[in-house]
Structure 1
Amino acid sequence: MPGPQPHQGLPPELLANPEWQRACQQRDFVKVFHLVKVKAGIYPSRVAALCDMTPSRVGEIMSGRRGLAHIDVIERVADGLRIPGAMLGLAHRPWEIPSPATSRERLPSRSARTSETFADAEQGPDAESHSDLDDLLTLADGRVTRSTLLALRSSVEDYWRRDDEHGGASLRPAVVGHLRYVTQMMRSVRAPLCRDLQSLAAELARLAGWAYFDARQYSTARTHFTQALRLSHGQDDYLFMANVLSCMSLQATYDGQPADAVALACKAQDSARAAGGQPLVMSMLHMREAFAHATLRDAASCHQAIGRSRDAYEQARGQEGEAPSWIRYFDETKLIVDTGIALAKLGESERAEPLIAEGLRRETGAQQRGRAFHAFWLATAQLQQGKLDAACHSAGLALDLSASLDSPRVAGHVHEFHQRLAPYARETPVIAFEQRMREALG
């Protein structure tokens, strides 16, 4: 039996109401459901039907006896009640994306597989409403040339450079806008340009996933990473799929799902082997697996993965030119410092500290975010050993490096480290660090 049809939208005066906006921003669903009832005439039984919840659960939420925190349920509420995603801190919802005007001219036929891939690409929160999109498409006049592709690829390269230098959080609107633009263009071109656009859309989806990951918006990041995988399946680009899966593994480690992180890292390794097992890629993927095992506190599996990473790196020596460009950041210095981080995650701080310190010493001039992370992990290893002065000094370096970054991931690490200093709150190094932290982060 079909479910209830969603209503057409909330009254504009409710959406503009400051009380409503505060309630949405704070995710105060007691107030949200109350205002929906009073201002929009949507009663609890209808709320329950629209949001796929039981009436008793809605009643408990409205009375304050039960909270609503799970992201999937919040998304159901947004979709059922037609609350714009941005009001609840979500990505744009699929129903917010305007349907493109139906063309009178029949589009070229495509294979069923390609059409399905494109349809998948256009679902989900990757599309962001831009009032001038139709104008852009009109200007483009539906024509895609090699020059168009070169310009778009240049933009992607610039986005990655800016991500390295300043963090990815602030790039999200631009990247998502480009992603939507490219998926729109995919509808109206023939092969081989169509295939090239699909590859470009996959890279933009991966970049969008990475930007949301850096912003610690893990649910939206996963949606974009999944989209990148769907697009790359049509390309049979197994190394690209391995790259996306490696990003998802790292995110799962951050998101407190280390068992999933192990599975994703192993799947990434399988994908890389299908492409010939490029040794530098395999070295990085084994290290991703090591991170996940370390988070699980599985010392034996972690050390084995580190050993496989080191062996693969030795195989890669002299073959750097054969590796894809996106993996060339994983050099000997990165191998050393990542080994130290994995050991620090395990609690083997005495072995971890000299490795991370050596990595930082070698990284002069390297991208700021990476060095900030490494300084944080050095501080963590030092604090584990009771070296309070050294730990606060290293954490201060992380603060200095993060001054020009827009990366909630880095800021989150700094705050987590600060929480670990709580037992030493009256110590002089901690007081000095807290002062620097207030000045740097407000």
Structure 2
Amino acid sequence: MSDQPLARHPLTHLRRQRGWSLTDLAQVVQRRAGVNMAANRQKIWRWEHGLAVPDLPAQLAIATEVGIDPNTVAALPWPTWLLTVDGMERIDQGWTTGTAKDTLTLVGCMTDISDDDRRAYLLLTGQQAADLATAWAAVPAVPTIPTSKLRHATGHGIVDAELAGWVEGRVHQLWHLDDLIGGDYCLTLAQADLQLIRRLLEQARFGGLIEQRLLTAAGELLRLTGWCAFDADRHAAAERYWHAGLRTSAAGGDTLTGAYILSLMAMQHSYAGDGRTAINLLQTARERIGPGSSRTVHAMLDAWQVRAHAAAGEAAQALKALARADAHWERRDPDEDPAWAYWMRRPSHTIEVGLGFVGLGRTDTAVRLLEEGQAGRSLDYTRDTALGLTAIASAQAEQGDLNGALENAGRAADLMATVDSSRVTDLLQSFSRRLPHGPVQTAFQARLETLAQAPDQSVE
């Protein structure tokens, strides 16, 4: 993978795409707008770190240089208009098998999107994400094809059916590998499998029944690949994978995977602090699958809504969502669950619910629920164990229990020696920044820096 740092602001990405240094961009602004850029590098740096907003002449200078209509700059706030330079694949196309394949090709034909797209910010606005979810929910259901009919339809093409089964099994293997070693490691593996499915779907020798099965597998794999990108802080890439996953799962008739993708998009917006968009996405997913679907999936959607309401500062609604989630869990029938729901546990014991209570300032409740969840988590979930310990440490730090916080954060850091998850590392860094200034913070920060410099773990 590339050693280049993630781009955490659209202007940083734009500079890299054009091969500009900070000074180069300052010269562009001065040449185009005549703006005084005496402190050029410092100004650009402040723009890219969200510490200042360029005035309108400077914005128009950048837009003119890269070919963006001034009306776009006038219509959209900074830095939203920069997203039009290198944005998402089109989300306003019709929902057909053809457009599903086209979108899969766009994200799957890249050699390694995890290196090509290193943007650690969202491409879709809240309204665009809601529009995409609404369009997905309106797609007519595609009938599910029984495996027995599939084998009958392929006749002597039994190798095709076996190959489809291999692809499905491979997706399941990657689910569990991600639990163990984290999204950064699994991202390249998932991308390689996307290449395979893309090539298979491009070959006309498969009949319609095999095609539907492969589209369903593609939707599941795109969901996982987006999750790996999200776990690695590559948020723009995650959105692009999930957009393609919504289309391929819809073409394959897999509504539950589409709902799962929307729930992950909601989680992404919750992490970004946009609880309202997260709530809207989860509501759309819930309405689309209907009350007769798996109660475990409904429990998951309501559990994630706890975190969304917390991000929106809505404590009462968060408590109601948790009550609904636990009620669904009590009445679940495991036989109704999709295969990917193997990881789901009692909603009140999930890490996202615990983080929601941390965000609401209810640290006593957060610690209790997170510790109960940790007690029931097996060693097969290394990344989640580290994430849970970090969440507990964050809550304990808020309570003033510095010793307990450092103990749990230290255990999480030890686990991260064998896991590659930028999401967990970011939370550990955030925890470190909240420690009291002095020797304790310096020592813990040094520990994290040692972890970051450790050689990559090989995956066999």
- Cα separation, partners in 2 of 1:25 and 1:418, compared to 1, 3 Å: farther
Structure 1 residue 283 corresponds to structure 2 residue 299: yes
1:243 Cα shift? 0.9
1:103 maps to: none
Aligned alpha-carbon RMSD (Å): 3.5
1:68 Cα shift? 7.2
Alignment of 1:58-77 (within 5 A): 72-75=83-86
Q: Flag the structure with larger Rg.
A: 1
Q: Output one character per residue of 1:92-119: Cα deviation in whole Å (capped at 9) or x when no partner.
A: x99xxxxxxxxxxxxxxxxx94334323
SS state at 1:145 partner: helix
Structure 1 residue 128 corresponds to structure 2 residue 110: yes
* Contact residue 347 and residue 353 of structure 2 kept, 8 A: no
Equivalences, count: 357
TM-score under structure 2 length normalisation: 0.69
* Contact residue 333 and residue 363 of structure 1 kept, 8 A: no
Alignment of 1:322-333 (within 5 A): 322-332=336-346
User: What amino acid sits opposite 1:193 in the alignment?
Assistant: I
1:216 Cα shift? 1.1
1:107 maps to: none
* Contact residue 351 and residue 387 of structure 2 kept, 8 A: no
* Contact residue 216 and residue 253 of structure 2 kept, 8 A: no
SS state at 2:418 partner: coil
Aligned equivalents of 1:28, 1:68: Cα separation in 2: 19
Alignment of 1:164-243 (within 5 A): 164-187=179-202, 188=204, 189-243=206-260
Structure 1 residue 155 corresponds to structure 2 residue 170: yes
1:136 maps to: none
Structure 1 residue 307 corresponds to structure 2 residue 323: yes
1:293 is aligned, of 280, 287, 309, to 309
1:119 is aligned, of 88, 99, 102, to 102
Aligned equivalents of 2:284, 2:272: Cα separation in 1: 18
- Cα separation, partners in 2 of 1:340 and 1:178, compared to 1, 3 Å: closer
- Cα separation, partners in 2 of 1:337 and 1:170, compared to 1, 3 Å: closer
Aligned equivalents of 1:71, 1:169: Cα separation in 2: 27
SS state at 1:229 partner: helix
| Runs of 5+ consecutive residues of structure 2 not aligned to the other structure | 1-14, 29-59, 113-156, 454-460
Q: Which structure has the higher relative contact order (CA within 8 Å, separation 6+)?
A: 2
1:181 Cα shift? 3.0
Alignment of 1:29-428 (within 5 A): 31=24, 48=64, 51-54=67-70, 72-75=83-86, 113-123=96-106, 125-129=107-111, 145-187=160-202, 188=204, 189-273=206-290, 276-316=292-332, 319-332=333-346, 335=349, 337-421=351-435, 424-426=436-438
SS state at 2:331 partner: helix
1:432 Cα shift? 4.2
Aligned equivalents of 1:23, 1:306: Cα separation in 2: 43
1:405 Cα shift? 1.1
* Contact residue 320 and residue 328 of structure 1 kept, 8 A: no
1:176 Cα shift? 2.3
- Cα separation, partners in 2 of 1:168 and 1:26, compared to 1, 3 Å: farther
Aligned equivalents of 2:307, 2:18: Cα separation in 1: 34
Q: Output one character per residue of 1:241-294: Cα deviation in whole Å (capped at 9) or x when no partner.
A: 1111111111111123211111111112122326x2311111111011110001
1:343 Cα shift? 1.5
TM-score under structure 1 length normalisation: 0.71
User: What amino acid sits opposite 2:450 in the alignment?
Assistant: E
Aligned equivalents of 2:61, 2:350: Cα separation in 1: 58
Aligned equivalents of 1:329, 1:72: Cα separation in 2: 35
- Cα separation, partners in 2 of 1:434 and 1:183, compared to 1, 3 Å: closer
Aligned equivalents of 1:194, 1:144: Cα separation in 2: 14
Aligned equivalents of 1:71, 1:415: Cα separation in 2: 28
Aligned equivalents of 1:307, 1:333: Cα separation in 2: 9
Aligned equivalents of 1:301, 1:333: Cα separation in 2: 15
| Runs of 5+ consecutive residues of structure 1 not aligned to the other structure | 1-21, 36-43, 58-66, 77-90, 95-111, 131-141
SS state at 2:86 partner: helix
Q: Output one character per residue of 1:369-389: Cα deviation in whole Å (capped at 9) or x when no partner.
A: 101111111011111111111
SS state at 2:108 partner: coil
* Contact residue 265 and residue 285 of structure 1 kept, 8 A: yes
